[in-house]
Structure 1
Amino acid sequence: MQPRNMSMSGVVDLAALKAAGEAKVKAEQARAQRQEAGADTTAPPLVIEVTEATFESDVLQRSNEVPVVISFWADQAEQSKQLNTVLERLAGEYRGRFVLATAEVYANQMLFQQFGVQGVPAVFAVLAGQAMPLFQGAAPEDQVADVLDQLIEVAEQRFGIVGAEVDAGAPAEAQAPPPPRPATPQELALSAAHEALDAGDLGGAIQAYKNVLADEPANVEAKLGLAQAQLLHRVQDLDPRAVREAAANAPGDVAAQLAAADLDLVGGQVEDAFGRLVDTVRQAAGEERDTARLRLLELFDVIGPDDPRVAAARTALARVLF
């Protein structure tokens, strides 16, 4: 079975946004703390056997510093052991750009269930504490490497996580990661924006994200943060029951449909939100039609351009417009 495409976005998850923005800061803080404690003279192993007892320290905490790949395997499943051999070899070749954590399913039933594993081999990734599926089943080494390349790219671009490169063949004491670098002004501004969002200061967060985008218009993280902050700002004072009743009673009321779509998205009903606004664009005219179209584009930014639900909704919108 070939690895299925990874989906690194698509969930309206404010915890994920916060984690993505703060992961780089956490990584630098962790390295600095280890240096101060004199514990940074050796590099951590690139391959570990994880258990339920060590999952938090070996996987969740480390995922703030480096992508962690989890391979679920079983002794009687020969394919899973063969895949582990491939992943272990790649972990050495990638020299610290990801860490491999193997988990034997029968010894870790809780992890097996929490990750929703259907069978082995099954491979997941954890970035900044957020778990995501990579692929299930055996696969050729070159395809596995392609998936790992995607993971590493996403880790750096969306989460700011870059594993410290080590020399897998050198003695452990020679593999210390480089000293932490100072945060850039853009990183500090993003961190301030995330902190404002986390504190519930939505107005401050919106302005902070706009400040970042004024200097760096293509910053994907700031665009996502701004879209989510604006969404939360719009829905914070809404009465969900009243909004949904108004939308149901007045299908042609664009403002009512916009408010209901916002609530749909915040509630995780992504397809419903997109479908509602596509229908609104279809029925509306003039400025109201353009207002509904622009709101739909804003919600696309909340979910992320790579999500298949966004692609499907874009196609539906194009059919309506053209």
Structure 2
Amino acid sequence: MTTQPTPPNAQLNLRGAVDLGALAARSTRREEVARRAAADPGTAGPASPFVVDVTEETFADLVQGSVQVPLVLDLWAEGYDTGAEALQALAQEYAGAFLLGRIDAQAEPGLAQSLVQSLQARAIPLVAAIVKGQPIPLFTGSYPSAEEIRPVLEEVLRVAEANGVTGRVEGAGTAAGTQGEPEAPPVPPLHAEALAAVEAGDYDAATAAWTKALAQDPRDAGATEGLARVGVLRRVAGVDLSEARAAAAAAPDDVQAQILAADLDLVGGHVEDAFARLLGMVQRTAGEERDAVRTHLVDLFAVVGTSDPRVVTARQALTRALF
């Protein structure tokens, strides 16, 4: 059964999905696959540049690469992969517009469990996209037909383009029979450091890396966005969701309560609700309180991405509210 994708900023990112400080040893099954691949190159797995096998060791790098090229993850298990060929054929057809990463749930049980828990899935296969480090659940339980998958992938690519993710998998030009596009630039070291820190849940280290990147280049939009996202994650860490929402409902004019509720709205995927909550506060407040709300709302614009149509609409509403 397919479900329509939600915008990549709509959910918590996959921080903590893999313990970057304690990567597990290869499982017996993975070693057996490698042994058979060495004996018979025909069993070596995906030969396409657009399809890769994902392990705990490579997962973090692939997620970081989603800031340049959309990543589609296919979590599969032997006996439950009937129909996966359609997804791989589409990866070939799209010729590098996205990277398909296949995760063998039996060879990578820790990674599989973390992914299932992060996306609150109940069945395998599980297919999800990742854009700028943000997960987009696509479908679970069975593989739809190619014609059913195609519009879902189109929506993923539309969301990716709206968020500035327009790179292609290296080698796409030759596979498609056309002249290749310029290779996407590598992730800057400080960006990679910050993203890895977020994945590990070390928000202090992530903040330090993004801050250093901005000190080197104040025009670094990616660092500005990253710093804003880490700020949201830090503010909501350890917050009791029910208590925070109850406090906001009981005190609709309490600026700090509404700001925290807006952060929770955003992290929970309710982007428009977060913006509407703060826009209402802008209209009801004045002076320093209004400035605090306006500043926070602008910070959330950076979190979602300035090119996102919801940000464009909310920014126009903010201008009307202020003037």
Report TM bin, short chain.
0.5 to 0.7
Post-superposition offset of 1:276: 0.9
Across the two proteins, how many residue pairs are aligned to each other?
A: 251
The one-letter code sitting in structure 1 at the alignment partner of 2:304 is: I
Is contact 1:16–1:130 with CA below 8 Å preserved after alignment? no
- TM-score of the aligned structures, taking structure 2 as reference length: 0.54
For 2:200, the equivalent position in structure 1 comes to 199
For 1:251, the equivalent position in structure 2 comes to 252
For 2:114, the equivalent position in structure 1 comes to none
For 1:163, the equivalent position in structure 2 comes to 170
The reply on whether 1:15 has 2:3 as its aligned counterpart is no
**Per-residue Cα deviation, 1:51-99 (whole angstroms, up to 9, x for no partner):** xxx9979xx98987766799xxxxxxxxxxxxxxxx99986xx7x5667
SS in 1 for 2:10: coil
The whole-number CA distance in structure 1 between the counterparts of 2:188 and 2:282 is 37
The reply on whether 1:296 has 2:303 as its aligned counterpart is no
For 2:277, the equivalent position in structure 1 comes to 276
The whole-number CA distance in structure 2 between the counterparts of 1:247 and 1:194 is 31
The whole-number CA distance in structure 2 between the counterparts of 1:200 and 1:89 is 35
Is contact 1:46–1:99 with CA below 8 Å preserved after alignment? no
Post-superposition offset of 1:298: 0.9
The whole-number CA distance in structure 2 between the counterparts of 1:219 and 1:18 is 27
- Inter-CA distance 210–161: structure 2 relative to 1 (3 Å threshold): farther
For 2:106, the equivalent position in structure 1 comes to none
Post-superposition offset of 1:283: 0.6
Post-superposition offset of 1:192: 1.1
The whole-number CA distance in structure 1 between the counterparts of 2:224 and 2:272 is 21
- Inter-CA distance 163–220: structure 2 relative to 1 (3 Å threshold): farther
**Per-residue Cα deviation, 1:121-141 (whole angstroms, up to 9, x for no partner):** xxx9876895589xxxx9xxx
- Inter-CA distance 149–266: structure 2 relative to 1 (3 Å threshold): closer
- Inter-CA distance 289–129: structure 2 relative to 1 (3 Å threshold): closer
Post-superposition offset of 1:256: 1.6
- TM-score of the aligned structures, taking structure 1 as reference length: 0.54
The one-letter code sitting in structure 1 at the alignment partner of 2:191 is: L
SS in 2 for 1:15: coil
SS in 2 for 1:13: coil
The reply on whether 1:233 has 2:234 as its aligned counterpart is yes
SS in 1 for 2:174: coil
Runs of 5+ in structure 1 lacking a partner? 1-5, 23-36, 39-43, 71-86, 102-109, 116-123, 139-145, 171-179
The whole-number CA distance in structure 2 between the counterparts of 1:154 and 1:226 is 20
- Inter-CA distance 153–221: structure 2 relative to 1 (3 Å threshold): same
For 2:189, the equivalent position in structure 1 comes to 188
Q: How does 1:49-68 map to 2 (within 5 A)?
A: none
**Per-residue Cα deviation, 1:174-230 (whole angstroms, up to 9, x for no partner):** xxxxxx99x97x721111111221222212211211111222333333222211110
Is contact 1:12–1:302 with CA below 8 Å preserved after alignment? no
The one-letter code sitting in structure 2 at the alignment partner of 1:288 is: E
Structure 1 or 2, whichever has the larger Rg, is 1
* Identity level (%): 36
Is contact 2:97–2:169 with CA below 8 Å preserved after alignment? yes
